[in-house]
Structure 1
Amino acid sequence: MNKVIFLFLRRMRTPLLVLIGAYTVSGVGLLLIPGVDDQGEPWRMSIFHAFYFLSYTATTTGFGEVPYAFTDAQRMWVTFSIYLTIVAWLYAIGKILTLIQDPAFKQALGSQALDRAVRRMKDPFYIVCGHGDTGSMLVRAMVQRGRHAVVIDYDPDRINDLELADLTLHVPGLLGDASVSRHLKAAGLLHPLCRGVVALTDDEEANLKIAITSKLLNPELPVICRAHTRSTEDNMASFGTDHIINPFDAFGERLGLALRSPGLYLLREWLTSVPGSPLQEPVHPPKGTWILVGFGRFGKAVRRAMVAQGLSTVVIEIDPSRAGCDGPCVEGRGTEADTLRLAGIDQAVGLVAGTEQDTNNLSVIMTARDLKADLFMVARQNHCDNQDLFDAARPALVMRSSEMIVESILAHLGNPLLARFLELSLGRGEAWANELLSRISGVTDERVPEVWRVHVTARGAPALHALIREGHPVTLGLLLEAGQARYAILNCVPLMLCREGEERLTPSEDTLIEQGDRLLLCGRPRATDYLHHLLRDQQALRYLVTGDNRPDGWIWRMLGMGRPEPAASPDRDR
């Protein structure tokens, strides 16, 4: 039985019995008390007339003595019946209002609404477990990119925030524990259009259980999880979790990349930031001695990255023995000038404020700036609500774990080729990165580029696929020139070409495009829409690439004048 109906019948059983009893008693009295008809003869009310009279009298919608005028005895009984049924109705209505406010009934209504929304899903969607700072940021970013999602969270306030969010697409929300298998199944874990599960709860054990449940119930479904410790990462990996994000290790790796190759670091930032936003300025962290305030998970990850680059560090920690400091360490909070001087701020080149309290991190930055204005500052921001404060403090780098996790998830969900490109680019040098940065800035007007992929298939790029199938050689440069000739805004930079296991970074313009190729491109925002239209307009693409303005209407094809002429396959440089 439906949960809502079951709860309603169970909670309203007594009020319904009271209503039925009140109507029964009133009706029986009207049937038994004799009346007088218009001829003065004794008359008794029928069951129909009694029910009809009570229906409009007990609900206070009107009054009339039908079919004949009542006797005094009948009027006395009707007076009693009116008060009896009104009291019964007031009692029943009060119980209904109480039921509507019952948390269990609200949850049943929410579950029913979610089941209905999931059943009606017509587009691919992702299950997002957790709607805190990171989860809400991810859902908003997915909706902006036209992707659907279903949210699970145990906090009713977060589900209410989801319902009140100004989103262009409807995002169903389920109030419940995402680590419980029935909640995952209710959210669409076994739905044929479900494309993945993202575990972003604050509890690592819950994220681990979500990964295990998803892989056991639907092994083919991609699962992305957040983890803060190495042991949890290893446990998740043992169950085949597709992508595990540790924001502390990720920032440590980025900081290490900025120290080793500022160009590669800047390239990563440009390609993973929000398209259309201003391009980030180059960052050049100095080499020398760094002060690390806070030696928790974040501090340890940053220290590993710095030690890997050959840098020396001094740690400031409230409880060094508990934190496990194994190098130069000063006991203190780091918010006091004396502690910073004791740590050697005069000789240091940089400082990382990495505690779990945003107020302490801001205090450390302000105190350190008063002592040494040219110090390179790195800050950890724990809560999104404090972004204005960190913007005003102006540290050189800010570690926002929510943004880093969302960027990594979007790269894997929306464009796996980008994640692979960023991985392969780590093997390239600074000169290669600087040259690519120059090309990107030249076509994007100092704005973060849009990154997209093109799959040369009959479905992904039908016009280009048909042109190649007809035997016309199409190079990458020729395709980009055709796009620019059609749309002036369509100025792109090729980032990678994938072909039968071969992966080429920044392919040259004379590279021949073949059927089945996958291209990773970047350019101005909305350039992807123009290229999408061009790759589906066979007549326009043929004319721009070959100069052949062949009629392609239905009538011309019927007459045989629009059929492609066979062309010899040219020799291709592989």
Structure 2
Amino acid sequence: MNAIICLIMRRMRIPLLVLLMVYTIAIVGMTFMPGVDSQGNPWRMNFFEAHYFVSYMGTTIGFGELPYPFSNTQRMWVILSMYMTVVAWIYAIGVLLALVQDEALRRAIVESRFTRAVSNIHEPFYLICGYGDTGRALVSALEKRLMRTVVIEMKPERIDVLILENYPVYVPKLGADASQPNHLVEGGLKNPHCAGVVAVTDDNLVNLHIAISTKLLRPELTVIARVDSHDVAANMDSFGTDFIINPFVIFASKLHTALHSPELLLLRDCLSGYKTSCQPLNPPQSGLWVLCGYGRFGKAVYERLKEKKELRLVVIEAVLEKTGFPPAPYVAGRGTEADTLQQAHIEDAVGLIAGTDDDVNNLSIVMTARELNPNLFVVIRQNRADNKIIFEAAKADITMQPSQIIANHIRVLLTTPKLVDFLRLTKLRGNKWTRQLVTRLKTALNSTPPSIWQMTIDKDSTPALWEALKDKLINLKCLQMDPRDRRKKLACIPLLLIRGEEEIQLPEETECLRQGDQVLWCGKHGVASWMEWTLRDPLVLTYLSTGHILPRSYVWRWLQNKNMTVTRLPNS
């Protein structure tokens, strides 16, 4: 606000001085102009009368000649004063209109409104730097869970897209360079309610600057940064960035898991909400795979696939001089031509990975390859989210969209971080145990898409349970009861119980809870709301744990206790 006032005063200084000078000359001159009163006696205006007249004359209101008709000398001075004030006002208004259109002032006003909106947030929020495909998907996912976000994006057209979005909660937004620390501070970096910073811009260096600035200004904050360069990732790691997200590495790991443990991949995708169908992929476990594109994505995929000895790889790359020559057999070309694919023995291949940085080329590779070998397992890379419709029409077995992968991965880290721990423990269990868990989830949830939430037993989020655990034991079975009818069971399963350093996977219903426990739940959509009722309402919790329905009114409770006393008297 101080910057806005200083800018206005600096630009309007000369016009205001001109107006002040013109009005001073007109007022002082009017006091010297001779006139006559109603009786013909000599008369001159005093300073107040002159100031009053010039004030309404300068605004062209024109109340007339007051208090007496003017002499010709006074009228000549009035004419001169009118032209002086009109010209001064035209000049001042012209400068004011130019000031309103000044980009610096408009930017200062926008930043002031943005800073004020962020300072009025009194609940946890995340500062999202970058509103491209990744940022848009992430903000949308968080807003669906009613989690507050603040966005800083440098490109104006992306800010326009954000303005048109109909999110359930208002999202403060600022069009600025997030790599500048002052913009991060304006975005709430030093706000005590800021829960973390997410850097998902298109520039690795900008993300690096955001991560460094955040760790220097607020070391305790969680920082998540997108990066696709190993050197920049190493630099981020040296400054203590909490999570470094490389979409190519994540997808390569996903593809590797699909080949080694498809049940684990199915479980991970379903629980994280990445897939709604939850159908197994079953990719070929052996044979020839053709990899088109040996850039950053291709190299990440190649490094993971080469670990499986049953697979043979052939790489197709158009600019080997820039990407480097792969250690596997390769063919020079784009892969969109039939002869290039035939040189890679596409007729004998079991899988195809179209992983170039051009969506049109990837689609062309898939269509050409399917004409030569219709039985291919197809993995395709989608670079732009706008091309979703045509990629769905391609009907690939796996579609890799970097922005969606990053957004989904970050959403899990921000909303249900314990799911990462659960999947880590599941990986150690083996395929058979994972397969049994998938079957159990399908049975419990009736093959509907699962909803994941986590619970921490504390005074704020679970006040009823927190108080109840001081006096009695409550187990997981109690929380799984339907608060509307304790004879029925909510469609949910506890996946993980964390008690200090102890991690209990798939805890039993008889497991008694303690204050400070953290529980990761999986259930049908809407079950979390019913459970939250139990966790916050002591009367509901009493009903589920004991079967007694207590009246909510103190009067009814007193009457109930009195009736119970009267009932016991004959037996005494």
TM-score (norm 1): 0.91
Distance 1:525 1:85 in 2: 70
CA displacement at 1:358 relative to structure 2: 1.4
Q: Distance in 1 between matches of 2:37 and 2:353?
A: 98
Paired position in structure 2 for 1:289: 288
Matches of 1:506 and 1:487, distance apart in 2 = 22
Q: Any idea what SS the aligned residue of 1:469 has?
A: coil
Contact 2:482-2:488 at 8 Å conserved across structures: no
Distance 1:443 1:31, change over 3 A: farther
More off after superposition, 217-226 vs 474-483? 474-483
Report whether the alignment pairs 1:199 with 2:199: yes
Corresponding residue number in structure 2 for 1:570: none
Distance change >3 Å, CA 29–CA 64, structure 1 → 2:
same
The 1:443–1:22 alpha-carbon spacing in structure 2 relative to 1, beyond 3 Å, is: farther
CA distance in 1, matches of 2:168, 2:318: 47
Aligned partners of 1:35 and 1:366: how far apart in 2?
97
Alignment partner of 1:302 is 2:295 = no
Offset of 1:143 from its aligned partner? Answer: 1.9
**TM superposition shift of 1:190:** 1.7
Bigger mean CA offset, 22-31 vs 222-231 = 22-31
Q: Provide the residue aligned with 1:214 in structure 2.
A: 214
Q: Distance in 2 between matches of 1:498 and 1:332?
A: 52
Query: Could you tell which deviates more after superposition, 45-54 or 299-308?
Result: 45-54
| Distance in structure 2 (CA, Å) of the matches to 1:252 and 1:487 | 47
The equivalent of 1:536 in structure 2 is: 536
Q: For residues 102 and 290 of structure 2, what CA distance do their matches in structure 1 show?
A: 54
What is the CA-CA distance between 1:489 and the residue it aligns to? 8.3
The CA distance in 2 between the partners of 1:487 and 1:298, in whole Å, is 53
Cα distance in 2 for residues equivalent to 1:559 and 1:239 = 65
Instruction: Measure the CA separation in 1 of the matches of 2:484 and 2:367.
Output: 50
Alignment of 1:47-62 (within 5 A): 47-62=47-62
Matching residue of 1:279: 277
2:77 maps to 77
Partner-residue secondary structure (3-state), 2:495: strand
Q: Is the 8 A contact 2:127 2:197 kept in 1?
A: yes
- Do structure 1's residue 155 and structure 2's residue 161 form an aligned pair? no
Q: Distance in 2 between matches of 1:466 and 1:122?
A: 26
**Contact in 2 for aligned 1:484/1:490 (Cα 8 Å):** no
Matches within 5 A, 1:402-413: 402-413=403-414
Deviation at 1:177, TM superposition (A): 2.1
User: Which letter does structure 2 place at the counterpart of 1:263?
Assistant: E
Moved segments of 4+, more than 6 Å: 556-560
Alpha-carbon separation, structure 1, partners of 2:523 and 2:505: 16
**Residue deviations 1:87-111 (CA, integer Å, cap 9, x gap):** 3222222222222222211221122
Contact 1:258/1:285 (8 A) holds in 2:
yes
Asked if structure 1 preserves the Cα contact closer than 8 Å seen for 2:482 and 2:490, the reply is no
Q: Secondary structure at the match of 2:485?
A: helix
Give me the whole-angstrom Cα distance separating, in 2, the residues matched to 1:119 and 1:463: 32
Is 1:185 aligned with 2:170? no
| 1:383 has 2:384 as partner | yes
- The 1:49/1:212 distance shift into structure 2, 3 A limit, reads same
Which residue matches 2:480? 480
Kept in 2: contact 1:465–1:515 (CA 8 A): yes
Contact 2:483 2:534 in 1 (8 A): yes
Report how far residue 42 of structure 1 moved. Answer: 2.1
Query: Offset of 1:388 from its aligned partner?
Result: 1.2
Could you tell me which residue of structure 1 aligns to residue 496 of structure 2?
496
Instruction: Give the aligned length.
Output: 559
Residue deviations 1:403-454, cap 9 Å, x none? 1111111111122211221222222322322322233333445442221112
Deviation digits for residues 471-496 of structure 1 (CA, Å, limit 9, x no counterpart): 33x33234313558359683102211
Deviation at 1:521, TM superposition (A): 0.5
Q: Partner of 1:571 in structure 2? A: none
Show the counterpart of 2:331: 330
Shift of 1:271: 1.4
Equivalent position of 2:351 in the other structure:
350
Matched residue SS, 1:151: strand
C-alpha contact (below 8 Å) 2:314/2:330 kept by paired residues: yes
Q: TM-score, normalised by structure 2?
A: 0.92
Q: Deviations over 1:38-69 (max 9, x none)?
A: 11222222222222222222223344221222
2:319 counterpart residue number: 319
Partner residue of 2:440? 439
Distance 1:479 1:116 in 2: 42
Contact 1:114 1:173 in 2 (8 A): yes
Inter-partner Cα distance in structure 1 for 2:278 and 2:41:
100
The C-alpha deviation readout for 1:511-546, integer Å capped at 9, x for no partner, is 333333211101122211110001222222223232
What is the rounded CA distance, in whole Å, between the counterparts of 1:559 and 1:457 in structure 2?
33
Specify whether residues 226 and 489 from structure 1 end up closer, same or farther in structure 2 by C-alpha distance, changes over 3 A only: farther
Q: Deviations over 1:362-399 (max 9, x none)?
A: 22222222222221111111111111111122111111
Percent identical across equivalent pairs? 46
Report how far residue 465 of structure 1 moved: 3.6
- For residues 120-146 of structure 1, the C-alpha deviation after alignment (integer angstroms, 9 at most, x for no partner) is 221111111112221122222222211
Kept in 1, the 8 Å contact 2:293–2:354? The answer is yes
Residues 1:423 and 1:83: Cα distance change in structure 2 (over 3 Å): farther
Shift in Å at residue 552 of structure 1?
A: 6.8
1:23 has 2:20 as partner: no
What's the counterpart of residue 99 of structure 1?
Answer: 99
Q: Return 5+ residue gaps in structure 1 as ranges.
A: 563-574
Secondary structure of residue in 2 paired with 1:219: coil
Greater shift, 27-36 or 436-445, is seen at 436-445
> Aligned equivalents of 2:61 and 2:430: distance in 1?
85
Aligned-residue RMSD, C-alpha: 2.4
